[in-house]
Chain A
Amino acid sequence: MIDNEVEMINIRTAVANDLARVIELDERDTGQGKPDYWRDIFDRYVDGDRGQRYFLVAEQNGVVSGFIVGEIRAWEFGSTPSGWVFAINVSPDIREQGIASQLFDAICSCFKNVNVDTVRTMISRNDPLNLSFFRSQGLSAGPYIQLEMHLDE
């Protein structure tokens, strides 16, 4: 656990009891309830053998106020092992207090602890909030490009 007495935020590894709160925070932010999705994530990133998968929460006065999820990915199209962050959330009530930055720093520490020196993420270009956040943490466009196409029936 990492205590930050100045902001009274405790960053810790998620536990099974955090599931309901994570579902709530995500639904509040996205407008979509995804209980099955988060149950599956908890099965692989919280319960049992997590391997190099990380699910951290920010706790304030005993209440989970945010979370970040990531993992080490390796060798996709030649990519050397790197940390991937694929979810981050901070309750809208308490944003702009540096909680997201603390969560991000904590997961980067996890990556560095296993000798990984690169962190990546993939954000919609229609999501300026998260784009700006990761830019503010020092991320910039990497050497890979996300491509997609619609699959016709």
Chain B
Amino acid sequence: MRLQKSSLFGLYALLELASAPNAQLSTSEIAEKYGISPHHLAKVMMTLVRAGLAQSVRGVGGGYRFTGNASRVTLSDVIELFEPIGSGHDFADNNAALETPVGLALQNVRDEIDELAKATLKSITLKTLLRSAEKLDLTQGAIRVGGD
């Protein structure tokens, strides 16, 4: 599935912060690690702060700190700060298509896919995602060692 840049950047930033809850990270540090625009990320961070998921730390060293609960915040919670999940209706005013059997049947299939996507994203907390990332990191480490 495609996600808007803001949603992806928000997920990268929040997961990075949640992986080190006692640390402060700057937008430039996060942007460099993920190869993303620090300017765009700065705007995304403002949204995360407004949502109470991150806190801006002033002063020397500055940056941001994670203030959510990684065991409760889900991928869906983050994504929905930036975009609705699901395809919705492509043409808001095109009810004519939805009044045809084909239009309706096709919309039913799209709704089915959307519901699966929503349920999946709602079921994965930041903590669960980080655990998956750790396992991948261990696997990749083992592959690198094995290749030596």
Residues of A within 8 A of B (CB): 125-126, 128, 131-132, 135-136, 138, 141
Contact = CB atoms under 8 A, between A and B. Distances in A.
B124 interface: yes
Q: Which 10 A-B pairs have the closest CB atoms?
A: A125-B119, A131-B123, A136-B128, A135-B123, A135-B128, A132-B123, A135-B124, A128-B122, A128-B123, A132-B125
Contact of A131 (B115, B119, B132): B119
A141 to B, nearest CB: 7
Nearest to A124: B119
Residue from A131, A135, A141 whose CB has the most chain B CB atoms within 10 Å: A135
Interface of B: 74, 115-116, 118-120, 122-125, 127-128, 131-132, 135
Contacts of A141: 120
B128 A132 contact: yes
27 contacts: A125-B115, A125-B116, A125-B118, A125-B119, A126-B119, A128-B119, A128-B122, A128-B123, A131-B119, A131-B122, A131-B123, A132-B74, A132-B123, A132-B124, A132-B125, A132-B128, A135-B123, A135-B124, A135-B125, A135-B128, A136-B125, A136-B127, A136-B128, A136-B131, A138-B132, A138-B135, A141-B120
